[in-house]
Structure 1
Amino acid sequence: MGIVVVEICDASLINEVDVEQILESEYPEVSVVKYDCLSFCGLCRVRPYAMVNGTRVFGKTAEECLKAIRGQIDEELAFYMD
């Protein structure tokens, strides 16, 4: 398991891209975990989002959300690397 955990809902619009494969290949410190539901009722159908170490990250599109996730991962890793 990585030091940065990205949680995504199976129904989330972020799944338009292969988040798990993309992030785990780019960041060996990251683990992507998919859940049936993250209990943010209906949010996953409204816009793409994910949780990065407990912080919600959003985007208007899956690609924009993926970019925001990468930014949050970089921020998290900077904390651990200091």
Structure 2
Amino acid sequence: MDGLVVIEVCANNRLTPEWLSEIEQRLPGAAVLETDCTNTCGLCQVRAFAYVNGKLVHDPDPAKCVEKIEDEARALLRWLTSSEDEKGAP
């Protein structure tokens, strides 16, 4: 079930590799992809951010950003793994 939710992070981001590996451990089904640049010029200089299945998630505080990333990823995982009768876009 790995990779249902892709968390894309710029290598210059304010999020540490430890935080990112913890996300993968806590959220089976999520995969963190670190890229050289996400073409979000300048954002990595002022706040922590990631793209969660293409949606920008950010916060000036890296710890709060990790919480927001995990919340978004959990919501997507619930939606992706729910039955057809329960589905409503997150």
Report the TM-score when normalising by structure 1. Answer: 0.91
Question: In the alignment, is residue 13 of structure 1 matched against residue 10 of structure 2?
Answer: no
Mean CA deviation greater in 60-69 or 19-28: 19-28
Could you tell me which runs of 5 or more consecutive residues in structure 2 were left unpaired when the two chains were aligned: 83-90
The two structures, once aligned, show a CA RMSD in angstroms of 1.2
- Whichever residue aligns with residue 9 of structure 1, its letter is C
What is the rounded CA distance, in whole Å, between the counterparts of 2:23 and 2:58 in structure 1?
16
Higher alpha-carbon Rg = 2
User: Which contiguous aligned blocks of 4+ residues in structure 1 show a shift greater than 2 angstroms?
Assistant: none
The C-alpha deviation readout for 1:5-38, integer Å capped at 9, x for no partner, is 00000101123x6233101111120110000100
Could you tell me which runs of 5 or more consecutive residues in structure 1 were left unpaired when the two chains were aligned: none
What is the rounded CA distance, in whole Å, between the counterparts of 2:49 and 2:28 in structure 1?
21
* 1:49 paired residue number: 49
- Whichever residue aligns with residue 81 of structure 1, its letter is T
What is the aligned residue count?
A: 81
Identity %: 30
